[in-house]
Amino acid sequence: MFHFLSYLVSTSQSPKTKNTKMVTNCRIAYAFVIGLSLLIATAAEDPYKFYEWHVSYGTISPMGVQQQGILINKMFPGPEIRSVTNDNLIINVFNELDEPFLISWAGIQNRKNSFQDGVYGTTCPIPPGKNYTYALQVKDQIGSFYYFPSLGFHKAAGGFGGIRISSRPMIPVPFPPPADDYTVLIGDWYKTDHKALRAQLDNGGKLPPPDGILINGLSNGATINIQPGNTYRLRISNVGLQNSLNFRIQNHTMKLVEVEGKHTLQNVYSSLDVHLGQSYSVLITANQPGKDYYIVVSSRFTPNVLTTTGVLHYSNSAGPVSGPIPDAPASMSWSFSQARTIRTNLTASGPRPNPQGTYHYGGINVTRTIKLVNSAGQINGKQRYAVNSASFTPSDTPLKLADYFKIDGVYKPGSISDQPKNAPIFSVTSVLQADHKAFVEIVFENWENIVQSWHFNGYSFFVVGMELGKWRPDSRKVYNLNDAVSRCTVQVYPRSWTAIYLALDNVGMWNLRSELWERQYLGQQLYVRVYTTSTSPRDEYQIPTNALLCGRASGAHKGLLSVSGFEN
Ligand SMILES: *[C@@H]1O[C@H](CO)[C@@H](O)[C@H](O)[C@H]1NC(C)=O
Ligand SMILES: *[C@@H]1O[C@H](CO)[C@@H](O)[C@H](O)[C@H]1NC(C)=O
Ligand SMILES: *[C@@H]1O[C@H](CO)[C@@H](O)[C@H](O)[C@H]1NC(C)=O
Ligand SMILES: *[C@@H]1O[C@H](CO)[C@@H](O)[C@H](O)[C@H]1NC(C)=O
């Protein structure tokens, strides 16, 4: 805790006037050197990495027409974060847009620290012209993730980028080091400005289908360079808004090695379904005659299939791409079957040296079953989406801050039922109350004709089952209680269910949301308040000393010495 105190003292002495980037970086670094020197006894030599990000508008034309994009340090997509397990990432984000802004970190667990989660319910938006320094630790994590802007419809304009967390040098990785490692951000895209899209939803409408698909910000010609004989890692994330996507490479297979931080059974696929918000690592080997091959990304299960191609370019290429663009497997049942083959390699190491199979999730008794059903409907003639009939509406104050400062009336714990309701859709600031250390089964049921995708911040969960039809207690007979993959984003097929097991070991206020961005924006999300009566920093960190305050928390004092629990 001394660490946080010294951070406060040092940074609060920084002048508010404009510094050069270099001076700014030095100042922050200096603050942390002091912090670190006082911290030796408690939390380790985990390295610190410093970033300064300027978020601004800029003209981009990914689909051949100019539009306003959201750039980070002038880049679209934004810069990649390369980290190692347990690194502390100190990211100073300057909002140079004309609207409040937040970045969230899909898959970074922010253990004990939902304050850094960068979503409406945990963190005050960064006002235009202001900055906020996120302090994240990628504690006990490995794998491939991404960041994205969480407010409004900013995600439709960019502001996203890859995050990779490598294993520490002494921890075995279950495949040889690849010759190179590429981030491949795929996603559907609109030519329409993010504010216009948002206005359509605010006015009660729905989104039209997307205009196209981008690979690393390009609708055409994204290129991956390879040399004959080598093996490469591709980290593929679906950062789009509406569509599940299929990823494939002409005449090449992909060996799956990692899913959202878990090393998997190394199955070989000729194409891979990547649902909204999901991330996969595959290995590809340059074992074909030297030429160029199509990289293909196409929308899944949409009436009108959108397709984009990129190029896999051999260094000894004898010619451009040729031949037919390979098709995606047509059926939903193919996708279902593929999903069931994605499993954990129990003997491989994860972030720690011990095998991933050491934790026997199948032997733990479930303490609570939660069933969540998504639906669509209208309130006062306007389109809304809901979970168990509750359509999430933001309150005026981040929920986590309301909790921290004990501000009543912002939300009610238990304002969403943990079972489906046979009731019309209603607006509420939905917060599900749950006990720290509960072991929970969540059944997602999707009675609609869409592919749903659910993401849970702060957690990784075991995907124990996925079947067509309605879930019944005896559906548990088909659960995989041995080597289910654990991940942070899971799809639910149309008129199907997906069940997950989840150890609620991370205290905080955590966003559970649909990754279909229209649905998320119009109410298909909630917060899970993982609660303990303990106020020990062993269970949850104190509010960051630089936390922005807003809404009914505006006047609150962080009051470090009185509120912070130093007495613990
Ligand atoms: C904003 O950036 C300055 C350095 O330029 C830093 O001292 C300050 O802590 C940052 N503000 C927040 C709220 O993180
Ligand atoms: C892909 O492989 C098939 C079968 O080996 C071959 O006939 C075809 O020409 C290859 N396509 C390209 C673009 O090289
Ligand atoms: C699982 O990981 C081990 C390394 O611990 C590796 O030797 C083995 O081939 C992997 N098994 C599969 C099926 O991927
Ligand atoms: C789970 O519950 C069963 C039946 O109530 C009990 O016999 C068993 O010991 C429990 N297992 C664990 C690991 O707590």
On whether both 282 and 222 belong to a single domain, the answer is: yes
Assess whether the C-beta atom of 362 lies below 6 angstroms from ligand 4: no
Mean pLDDT of the 407-436 span: 96
On whether both 334 and 447 belong to a single domain, the answer is: no
- The answer to whether residue 567 is domain-embedded is no
CATH code (residue 134): 2.60.40.420
Q: Is the peptide bond before 351 cis (omega within 30 degrees of 0)?
A: no
**Whose Cα sits closest to atom 12 in ligand 3?**
265
Mean pLDDT of the 75-92 span: 98
Structure tokens at 222: 């994204």
pLDDT tens for each residue of 438-474 = 999 999 999 999 999 999 999 999 999 999 999 999 9
Q: Is the peptide bond before 77 cis (omega within 30 degrees of 0)?
A: yes
The values of phi and psi at residue 77, to 5°, are -60, 170
Q: What percent of the chain clears pLDDT 90, i.e. is strictly above it?
A: 89
> Nearest ligand to the C-alpha of residue 549?
1
Place of tokens 């190179």: 180
- The answer to whether residue 174 is domain-embedded is no
Global pTM reads 0.92
The answer to whether the beta carbons of residues 386 and 524 sit under 8 Å apart is: yes
The values of phi and psi at residue 346, to 5°, are -70, -25
On whether both 124 and 186 belong to a single domain, the answer is: no
126 CA distance to ligand 1 centroid (A)?
11
The answer to whether the beta carbons of residues 447 and 375 sit under 8 Å apart is: yes
Q: Which atom of ligand 4 is nearest to the CA of 363?
A: 13
**Residue 10, pLDDT score:** 31
pLDDT tens for each residue of 94-148 = 999 999 999 999 999 999 999 999 999 999 999 999 999 999 999 999 999 999 9
- The answer to whether residue 271 is domain-embedded is yes
- The answer to whether residue 516 is domain-embedded is yes
Assess whether the C-beta atom of 365 lies below 6 angstroms from ligand 4: yes
Q: How many domains does the chain have?
A: 3
Beta strand 143-149 pairing with 161-166: antiparallel
302 CA distance to ligand 2 centroid (A)?
28
Residue 478 CB partners (closer than 8 Å, separation 6+): 465, 467
**Whose Cα sits closest to atom 4 in ligand 4?**
365
pLDDT tier for residue 556 given thresholds of 50, 70 and 90:
confident
On whether both 6 and 56 belong to a single domain, the answer is: yes
Structure tokens at 398: 């981040």
On whether both 297 and 394 belong to a single domain, the answer is: no
- The answer to whether residue 559 is domain-embedded is no
On whether both 203 and 93 belong to a single domain, the answer is: no
On whether both 263 and 386 belong to a single domain, the answer is: no
pLDDT tier for residue 241 given thresholds of 50, 70 and 90:
very high
Question: What three-state secondary structure class fits 30?
Answer: helix
Alpha carbon of residue 473 to chain centroid: 30
Q: What is the amino acid identity at position 257?
A: V
Q: What is the amino acid identity at position 447?
A: W
On whether both 148 and 188 belong to a single domain, the answer is: no
On whether both 263 and 330 belong to a single domain, the answer is: yes
| C-alpha dist (Å) from residue 214 to 270, 326, 348, 540 | 20, 18, 33, 39
Most informative mutation of 249, 251, 253, 287 for ligand 2 (most atoms within 8 A of CB): 251
The DSSP code for 300 is S
Owning domain of residue 227? 180-341
pLDDT tens for each residue of 380-401 = 999 999 999 999 999 999 999 9
- The answer to whether residue 209 is domain-embedded is yes
Mean pLDDT of the 164-177 span: 97
On whether both 335 and 380 belong to a single domain, the answer is: no
On whether both 51 and 187 belong to a single domain, the answer is: no
Map 494-513 to HEC letters: CCEEEEEEEECCCCEEEEEE
On whether both 29 and 149 belong to a single domain, the answer is: yes
Q: Which atom of ligand 4 is nearest to the CA of 365?
A: 1
Mean of the per-residue pLDDT values of the chain: 91
**Whose Cα sits closest to atom 2 in ligand 2?**
251
- The answer to whether residue 45 is domain-embedded is yes
Question: What three-state secondary structure class fits 554?
Answer: coil
Alpha carbon of residue 454 to chain centroid: 10
Domain final residue, candidates 311, 341, 371: 341
> Nearest ligand to the C-alpha of residue 51?
1
